[in-house]
Structure 1
Amino acid sequence: MTRSQRLVLIIAILSTFVSFLDGTIVNVALPAIMRELGGGLTAQQWIVDAYLITLGSLILVAGSVSDVYGRITVLRVGLAAFGAASLAVGLAPTAEFLIIARGVQGIAGALLVPSSLALITSNFRGPAQAKAIGTWTGMTGIAMIAGPLVGGLFVDFASWRFAFLINVLPIAVTLVLLARLGQKDQREPGVSIDYLGAVLCTLGLGGAVFALIEQSTLGWASPAIYLPLVGGIVAFAGFLVRQRLAKNPVMPLGLFRVRNFWAGNIATALIYGALSLSSFALGVYLQQGALLPATLAGLASIPVTVIMILFSSRVGVLSGRYGPRLFMTIGPITAGIGSLLMLSISVPFVYWWQVLPGILLFGLGLTATVSPLTSAILGSIDPSRSGIASAVNNAVSRVAGLIVIAMLGVIVGGSLDLAGVHRAMIAVAVLLILGGIVSFLGIRNPVHEVDAADQASAMPTGSPERQA
């Protein structure tokens, strides 16, 4: 690598690291936030979903923003906004203030991931680019390990507020490195931003999520619930119509004509919805129900991330050899069985027998799923459209988590007590097993050129199939 390429890779890693770190810290910090600021389960849902609403709805349009205004400019704005929002979260005097600040964090986070990836792809070519993206992906995995542990340590030995304020330091370092990089910004001519589509998507998701979270307080018969729900559905329908008619849609609906793309995204919604529900329910219950310190609650799910880091690349190789369908079928079902093992959680609580076996099986299943899932979706799309395909898949995973957390009250029965966490684990298992079934029925393994040649050579000479 040249000096410039090294700086680019460090900047891209740090930019994404803060977003991933924040996303993994929050579940561990939720019980401490509730004790200090109040609000109960509803406030906890909003603290997670305020971030996911803005992130999930704007990450599609962020790529166009980066092309229009320049990747480095957008990265600077995203970093500064994320730092300011993190500061606001750490100093929040009320739960309502914190929720608004989390929404701003989501807007900033939507700018960071596409811009950092675009910075890599514009500075690296060929094998060097693949290696740089692999390094970038591996370092974000470290954020998944560090987040719960860092959050738990701050909650137990200082304050949950410091868990969010810690973002300010890497953001400041990244802004300094951007200044030292000294690259001229690149802007793509002829690219437009679909502002109307972004607004309709945000209103659609926001209205539906508001109704799902607040219905437990106000009831479905309240106009304050059914009007936002209907309005949200209408707005999201308008977003889909806009994507069909827009000259440069942020979510080209034509992509969903590809079998592996639509089937893979349905599987993504089910699997990542399950993952969000599991992380939230376990993170909160282990502290409020099992009375574990925040640090131990953060460490409880670390085996999943360690297994993924150790074996994901190997699974990717096997998936490339045998095709993704088998792994996408067996993986989610295995993870679902791991979730069902956690129904053994009881009083008195013993992590080693009641949680760890299920966590290990869950981690193995998830590891068998993630890499093949990504390759099945992106491998089915022309490489020239892989960027938008990746953005759509990323948005689907975020929105799935958003909807599942919004429905948490309905799923667990209003409280994350022992019965509630059991209901959550059953829901997680159902979503995962459905993800495996969808993959089995919908995903098709790609036909490699070597396989096609072998099939042709096995056909009789002069047959129409062989001639074709």
Structure 2
Amino acid sequence: MSSAPLARGVPAAAGSQPPARWPGGHPRRRRILLVLCLSLLVVVIDNTILNTALPTLARVLHAGTSSLQWITDAYTLCFAALLVPAGALGDRYGRRLSLIGGLTVFALGSTLAAVASGTGMLIGARLVMGLGAAFVMPATLSILNAVFPPQERPQAIAAWSAVAGVGIVIGPTLGGLLLAHFWWGSVFLINVPLVALALAGVALTVPETAEPGGHRLDLVGTVLVAGSLFAIVDAIIEAPSRGWTAPLTLAEAVAGLAALGVFAWWELRTAHPLIDLRVFAVRAFSASAGAVTVIFFALFGSLFVLTQYLQLVHGYSPLAAGVRALPFALAMAAASPISPVLAGRLGSRVVIPAGMALMGGGLLDLSTAGVHTAYPQVALAVAIMGAGMGLVMAPASTTIMTTVPAHQAGAGSAINDTIREVGGALGVAIVGSLAAAVYHSRLSSTLAAAKAPGAVVHQAASSVAAADIIGRQVGGAAGGELVAAAHSAFVTAMAMGIRVAAVVALAAAVAAVVALPRRPRPEPQPVRAGQQVMPKLARAR
């Protein structure tokens, strides 16, 4: 097993100790944090910046639905599948080296994507970008964890978490802005100068925090975890189009879960595991990981339908729709710095469930939006969601990083990142599938009752975008009625999907109250003559 010290069968939480090299923190830690946040922002934005460019890519590259799906999913699949191996490689061979290499590969992939002449080349470039991003994201958090002392680390992780969340939301806004003034390749080429700036910052300020050469790489574990996550995430992403019970979907999911089980068996028996899985026996770690998964499930699922609502029902342009999602980013940016302070005073057992309850409440508020709902009501709901996520992310990420042994901080950060990706993919797949099914059923019934032609019913019920096109082609009162019926059906479907996400968030809030340990409390100690009384913290239960 790992050489980490043991306590009741689980690894010691070395992450809560001062950095060995810099007990008071690295003297350049503030500048290091800025460089790490810039590096993180580049790869996080790319999760969503492409969404606004998909219609343009379909037109310019003659990309069909399947090609567009692969252009989007290639990045996510490669990114999610390689996060844990990449984090472990950083722990063993150098986190700074991992960050530099990842940024360089990411910039190379971005350049290739910008000049792609066809869908095949673009999909390949997106895979290269995902490979680079997989090395960047875990390196940023593990370096941050090493250069800040324990008393400052929660605030630093709060800043990191805010950038991770805000980047997802501002991606579509930036994409819309670029497309309004430049060609489609600009959504990829924008990464190159940002990466160049980040690389200069890394070279000048970021130290090496790992201890390379400690243990040999667990090649078996690397292959197993990469293969299992690739299969599971691909099954989740493809399930809405293939069908949740389609043979290929079920086979891929079963194979992925089986490989994940073998990975767990292997990691618990090998001498030098990628990550000491005994950390999952720590309630605080497992509960925090679950909270991160659920919060990203709710975020990505709701953003998926909200973007369509703003653009297709309200008629906003991609840029205008992105701007109208910014209250989420602003609220999260405001709540994130406060969350470590609240967690220090009230405990994560209060703050994390409170944030998840806020997310659930914001989702319920958003689910009441109708076809003609004014924007301020939508903005308020989105802001409540952002505040909830801001309260959850920093305390949960801090708990995860302080539970993992220090020499496995990169792999621990990768777990934190992987559960985000899996939660987000599940959110889009489940909320999107449910909304699509409700929309299809409701609009089909409405149009069939109005005795619309079968071909019209079939095409209009496929998506609200298709219904808008058909309505414009039909024109007149009949076309207007078709579009109105489609918008009404979509709003109903959106409400159903968002309510499911809200229920999941609220149920998880209750579960987190039960699962998260209580705060340590002072325990009186016997006093010897002439000895000063010092309270001892009781073990959290």
TM-score normalised to structure 2 length: 0.72
Q: Are the equivalent residues in 2 in contact too, given 1:50–1:99 (CA < 8 A)?
A: yes
Matching of residue 257 in structure 1 with residue 328 in structure 2: no
Q: Partner amino acid for 1:286? A: L
The 1-side partners of 2:241 and 2:268 are apart by 37
Structure 2 residue aligned with 1:56: 80
Q: Partner amino acid for 2:523? A: A
In structure 2, do the counterparts of structure 1 residues 321 and 220 end up closer, same or farther at CA, with 3 Å as the change threshold? closer
Q: Are the equivalent residues in 1 in contact too, given 2:162–2:390 (CA < 8 A)?
A: no
- Alignment map for 1:415-430 (pairs within 5 Å): 417=464, 418=490, 419-430=492-503
Q: How far apart are 1:255 and its partner, in Å?
A: 0.5
The 2-side partners of 1:311 and 1:175 are apart by 29
Matching of residue 362 in structure 1 with residue 385 in structure 2: yes
The 1-side partners of 2:244 and 2:342 are apart by 48
- Alignment map for 1:326-341 (pairs within 5 Å): 326-341=350-365
Structure 1 residue aligned with 2:394: 371
Matching of residue 344 in structure 1 with residue 368 in structure 2: yes
The 1-side partners of 2:169 and 2:241 are apart by 35
Q: What is the aligned counterpart of 1:433 among 503, 506, 527?
A: 506
The 2-side partners of 1:170 and 1:338 are apart by 33
The 2-side partners of 1:269 and 1:455 are apart by 44
The 1-side partners of 2:234 and 2:168 are apart by 28
Structure 1 residue aligned with 2:524: 453
Q: How far apart are 1:185 and its partner, in Å?
A: 9.8
In structure 2, do the counterparts of structure 1 residues 366 and 146 end up closer, same or farther at CA, with 3 Å as the change threshold? closer
In structure 2, do the counterparts of structure 1 residues 119 and 263 end up closer, same or farther at CA, with 3 Å as the change threshold? closer
Instruction: Encode CA deviations 1:290-349: one digit per residue, 9 max, x unaligned.
Output: 321111111122112212222322232122111122222232122212112222333346
The 1-side partners of 2:511 and 2:215 are apart by 36
Q: Are the equivalent residues in 2 in contact too, given 1:45–1:405 (CA < 8 A)?
A: no
Q: What is the aligned counterpart of 1:413 among 423, 426, 436?
A: 436
Segments of 5+ residues of structure 2 without an aligned counterpart are 1-24, 438-461, 465-489, 528-538
Q: Which moved more, 1:377-386 or 1:391-400?
A: 377-386
Q: Partner amino acid for 2:303? A: S
Q: How far apart are 1:161 and its partner, in Å?
A: 2.7
Structure 2 residue aligned with 1:153: 177
- Alignment map for 1:32-431 (pairs within 5 Å): 32-34=56-58, 36=60, 37-40=62-65, 46-95=70-119, 97-119=121-143, 143=167, 146-177=170-201, 188-219=212-243, 223-348=247-372, 350-353=374-377, 355-378=378-401, 388-407=411-430, 409-413=432-436, 417=464, 418=490, 419-431=492-504
Q: Which has the higher helix share?
A: 1
In structure 2, do the counterparts of structure 1 residues 142 and 121 end up closer, same or farther at CA, with 3 Å as the change threshold? same
In structure 2, do the counterparts of structure 1 residues 228 and 24 end up closer, same or farther at CA, with 3 Å as the change threshold? closer
In structure 2, do the counterparts of structure 1 residues 386 and 222 end up closer, same or farther at CA, with 3 Å as the change threshold? closer
The 2-side partners of 1:220 and 1:2 are apart by 50
Q: How far apart are 1:234 and its partner, in Å?
A: 2.3
Q: Are the equivalent residues in 1 in contact too, given 2:267–2:277 (CA < 8 A)?
A: yes
3-state SS, counterpart of residue 98 of structure 1: helix
Q: How far apart are 1:259 and its partner, in Å?
A: 1.3
Q: Are the equivalent residues in 2 in contact too, given 1:213–1:407 (CA < 8 A)?
A: no
Q: Which moved more, 1:386-395 or 1:270-279?
A: 386-395
Instruction: Encode CA deviations 1:348-370: one digit per residue, 9 max, x unaligned.
Output: 463223x1221122223223322
Q: Are the equivalent residues in 2 in contact too, given 1:27–1:280 (CA < 8 A)?
A: no
Q: How far apart are 1:74 and its partner, in Å?
A: 2.5
Aligned length: 453
Q: Partner amino acid for 2:105? A: A
Q: How far apart are 1:106 and its partner, in Å?
A: 1.9
Q: How far apart are 1:426 and its partner, in Å?
A: 1.9
3-state SS, counterpart of residue 268 of structure 2: helix
The 2-side partners of 1:93 and 1:156 are apart by 21
Q: How far apart are 1:405 and its partner, in Å?
A: 2.9
Q: Partner amino acid for 1:391? A: A
Structure 2 residue aligned with 1:464: none
Q: Are the equivalent residues in 1 in contact too, given 2:175–2:319 (CA < 8 A)?
A: yes
Instruction: Encode CA deviations 1:113-153: one digit per residue, 9 max, x unaligned.
Output: 23344555666667787776666666666645653332121
3-state SS, counterpart of residue 367 of structure 2: helix
3-state SS, counterpart of residue 520 of structure 2: coil
The 1-side partners of 2:77 and 2:180 are apart by 29
Q: CA RMSD in A?
A: 3.7
Segments of 5+ residues of structure 1 without an aligned counterpart are 457-467
The 1-side partners of 2:30 and 2:138 are apart by 19
Q: Which moved more, 1:56-65 or 1:429-438?
A: 56-65
Q: Are the equivalent residues in 1 in contact too, given 2:162–2:332 (CA < 8 A)?
A: no
Structure 2 residue aligned with 1:16: 40
In structure 2, do the counterparts of structure 1 residues 400 and 301 end up closer, same or farther at CA, with 3 Å as the change threshold? same
The 1-side partners of 2:388 and 2:265 are apart by 37
The 1-side partners of 2:50 and 2:268 are apart by 36
Q: Are the equivalent residues in 1 in contact too, given 2:240–2:429 (CA < 8 A)?
A: no
In structure 2, do the counterparts of structure 1 residues 158 and 172 end up closer, same or farther at CA, with 3 Å as the change threshold? same
In structure 2, do the counterparts of structure 1 residues 255 and 215 end up closer, same or farther at CA, with 3 Å as the change threshold? closer
3-state SS, counterpart of residue 300 of structure 2: helix
TM-score normalised to structure 1 length: 0.82
The 1-side partners of 2:149 and 2:142 are apart by 12
Q: Which moved more, 1:172-181 or 1:263-272?
A: 172-181
Instruction: Encode CA deviations 1:265-293: one digit per residue, 9 max, x unaligned.
Output: 22222222111212233234422443211
The 1-side partners of 2:99 and 2:394 are apart by 27
Q: How far apart are 1:16 and its partner, in Å?
A: 2.1
Q: Partner amino acid for 1:402? A: A
Q: Are the equivalent residues in 2 in contact too, given 1:88–1:101 (CA < 8 A)?
A: yes
